[in-house]
Amino acid sequence: MRTILTIAKREFTTFFDSLTAYILIILFLGLTGFFTWLYGSDVFFTGQASIQPFFAIAYWTMFFFIPALTMKMIAEEKENGTIELLLTKAVTDWQVILGKFLACLALVGVALLCSLPYYFTVSWLGDVDHGAVWCGYLGILLLSAAYIGIGIFASSLTNNQIVAFLISLFIGVFFLIIFSVLANSMSGVVSQVFDYLSISTHYESITRGVIDTKDIVYFLSITGLCLLLAETVLAKRNVAE
Amino acid sequence: MNIKVENLVKKYGPQRAVDDISFEVKSGEILGFLGPNGAGKTTTMKIITCYMAPSNGDVKLGNYSIRHDAERIKKSIGYLPEHNPLYLDMPVIEYLRFSAAIQSYPKSKTPERIREMVRLCGLDKEKHKKIGELSKGYRQRVGLAQAMIHDPEVLILDEPTTGLDPNQIVEIRELIRELGKEKTVILSTHILPEVEATCDRIIIINEGKIVANGAPRELRKQLSGREISRIRIEDGSQNDVFAKLRELPSVELVDWEDATKVFVVESKKEETSRRAIFNLCVQNGWALTEMTPIERDLEDVFRNVTLG
């Protein structure tokens, strides 16, 4: 566990040393803030003390924000050869992957913490459904975990960060749009399967304030599966041909 | 800690990068790993450091095997990979602290150890810079410092002196010799004077196989074998001298450097022909004005064994 934290800490500091963290947090807050307060179905337009627009926008910003964060995780280390340096220290492949995962999740956590003033100001304006808000935050966190898993897996596939970024967007698009489109255009069991696979189904029910173990299991299993795949790709160097 | 490599094989597709290599290195020994590019040096090192699994065979450090105790082994190895990859966006000290932490070096002793490494590797002037801002030579020192930070019993250095200037090379060699007194060191290089200067033993590998194994001096003797002398004979016609030299029973080959009176004589295996040559000159009344033994250096040995 200490090793995982050591790796996570290094990654996390690197985010802040390299401006990545600041740029992404500002972009995230700017975008979500713009749509929560100023444009579209914002708080003043709907006249409701609710930060649902924030969650709806966060859903999309995370979609771009996280691949940009995860793309370098393994691809850059492979490109520079530092992966060899790291894996010949007393660490396992799992510790490396989990450390990187935690670092990304922590950065998302920081971004979400920075968005808390939105919640406080809205609750000062009127009566907010507090339960729904905390569920929404939980939802974003789970969603982010799944995206980070996908991103780290994509990053493990290649040496090129741009390719890693595109692969994770590509996989993300399936969960975000294509599965729900397929679910709508088909019927019966197939439709139900695609509906279950689509992220929006689960995300919406959580942000509405309904915590269902089914949804939590969904996000956690995407995360787990992707990290497992990433670990398999890393360990492939060991396979004797 | 002794290293024992047993029948190591690594295949990349149909190609055998490492082909049934076995050798042993004892504690307190510095082993030089020599070979042309692509001979399998780096692959062997990657296997010993548990970065890659071998297709066949095993490596043992003390009683631990890379197949079962990778964790334990990695902890007792300090590794400087080829091309010296480093996290360029980290400051030197920060990076050394990270390297110590990840190898579970006791936290209370870390600051002291970092100071020691900085002093040992001559990083004092540059310690607050980011690694990316350092010159190649200083990066190499950081690479060495991170390899040694957790005081490992085994050091594996893949071309440790590339990119260093001559002064630094001497310093690093001295450092390695110093370390080699109590640790087990394997270093790879294709710079021949380097192994002669630092190593107790040399293994030359070519196309994945060990082609020579021994102390530098031993190797030179063993592989050069025949005695070669350069002689200058003043009188007599060149053709006559040439013919008579060839008739000597102990002489295998005579070559003559054109337009001069200098001959290069190679004796038969394990025989000496110098006395016979002298006698021949006396008999014929020739003046023998030069006789120089030609010593083969390690470069010749290397060329001999790697070119087949």
Across A103-119, average pLDDT: 93
Read off the amino acid at residue B144.
Answer: L
- This complex has an ipTM of 0.86
β-bridge mates for residue B64, sequence order: B61
A240 Cβ under 8 Å from any chain B Cβ: yes
Q: How far is B51 from chain A (nearest CA, A)?
A: 6
| pLDDT interval class at A240 (50, 70, 90) | low
β-bridge mates for residue B12, sequence order: B15
d(CA B282, CA B275): 11
B96 three-state secondary structure: helix
The answer to whether B212 and B272 are in contact (CB under 8 A) is no
Residue of A nearest to B15 (CA): A241
Of the candidates B200, B147, B284, the one whose C-alpha atom is nearest the C-alpha of residue B27 is: B200
Angle at A100 between CA A98 and CA A106, to 5 degrees: 100
Q: How far is B148 from chain A (nearest CA, A)?
A: 12
Q: A12 pLDDT exceeds 60?
A: yes
Across A71-81, average pLDDT: 92
Across A50-77, average pLDDT: 89
Torsion sign (Cα): B161, B167, B168, B171: positive
Distance of CA A123 to the CA centre of its chain: 26
Q: Which residue has the higher pLDDT, A238 or A176?
A: A176
Q: Please tell me the number of Cα atoms within 13 Å of B28 on its side-chain side.
A: 2
Tell me what pLDDT residue B250 has: 82
d(CA B1, CA B63): 9
Tell me what pLDDT residue B259 has: 65
Helices (H) and strands (E) in chain B, counts: 11, 14
End-to-end CA distance of chain A: 33
A237 Cβ under 8 Å from any chain B Cβ: yes
Q: A163 pLDDT exceeds 90?
A: yes
pLDDT in tens, chain B (308 residues): 889 999 999 988 888 889 899 999 988 899 998 888 888 899 999 999 999 889 889 999 988 998 888 888 999 999 999 889 999 989 999 999 999 999 989 999 999 999 999 988 888 888 889 999 998 888 988 998 999 999 999 999 998 887 778 888 888 888 888 888 888 999 998 777 778 878 889 898 888 889 888 888 777 766 666 778 888 888 778 788 888 888 888 887 888 776 677 888 888 777 778 888 888 888 888 888 888 887 666 677 777 777 75
Q: A37 pLDDT exceeds 60?
A: yes
User: Mean of the per-residue pLDDT values for chain A?
Assistant: 89
With CB atoms and an 8 Å threshold, state whether A2 touches B81: no
Tell me what pLDDT residue B87 has: 93
Q: A212 pLDDT exceeds 90?
A: no
Residues counted in chain B: 308
SS3 assignment for chain A: CHHHHHHHHHHHHHHHHCCHHHHHHHHHHHHHHHHHHHCCCCHHHHCCCCCHHHHHHHHHHHHHHHHHHHCHHHHHHHHHCHHHHHHCCCCCHHHHHHHHHHHHHHHHHHHHHHCHHHHHHHHHHCCCCHHHHHHHHHHHHHHHHHHHHHHHHHHHCCCCHHHHHHHHHHHHHHHHHHHHHHHHHCCHHHHHHHHHHCHHHHHHHHHCCCCCHHHHHHHHHHHHHHHHHHHHHHHHHHCCC
Q: How far is CA A103 from CA A5, A143, B51, in A?
A: 9, 16, 24
Tell me what pLDDT residue A139 has: 92
d(CA A36, CA A53): 5
Torsion sign (Cα): A229, A234, A240, B3: negative
The answer to whether A60 and A149 are in contact (CB under 8 A) is no
Domains of chain B and any CATH numbers: 3-222 (3.40.50.300), 223-306 (3.30.70.100)
Option in B12, B74, B88 nearest A88 (CB): B74
Q: Which residue has the higher pLDDT, A129 or B86?
A: B86
The answer to whether A83 and A170 are in contact (CB under 8 A) is no
Using a CB-CB distance cutoff of 8 angstroms, which residues of chain A are in contact with residue B56? 240
| pLDDT interval class at A25 (50, 70, 90) | very high
Using a CB-CB distance cutoff of 8 angstroms, which residues of chain B are in contact with residue A236? none
Write the DSSP symbol of residue B91: B
Tell me what pLDDT residue A220 has: 95
Question: Could you give the residue ranges of the DSSP H alpha helices within chain B?
Answer: 41-48, 70-75, 92-102, 110-120, 136-148, 166-180, 192-198, 216-224, 238-247, 274-284, 298-306
Residue of A nearest to B50 (CA): A88
B98 Cβ under 8 Å from any chain A Cβ: yes
Q: How far is CA B33 from CA A160, B97, B156, B204, B211, in A?
A: 33, 30, 10, 6, 11
Read off φ and ψ for residue B145, nearest 5 degrees: -60, -45
Across A125-130, average pLDDT: 83
Q: Which residues 82-111 of A are in CB contact (within 8 Å) with B? A: 82, 84-92
| Residue B115: burial class (beta carbons within 10 Å; 0-12, 13-18, 19+) | middle
Who contacts A27 (Cβ-Cβ below 8 Å, separation ≥6)? A61, A65
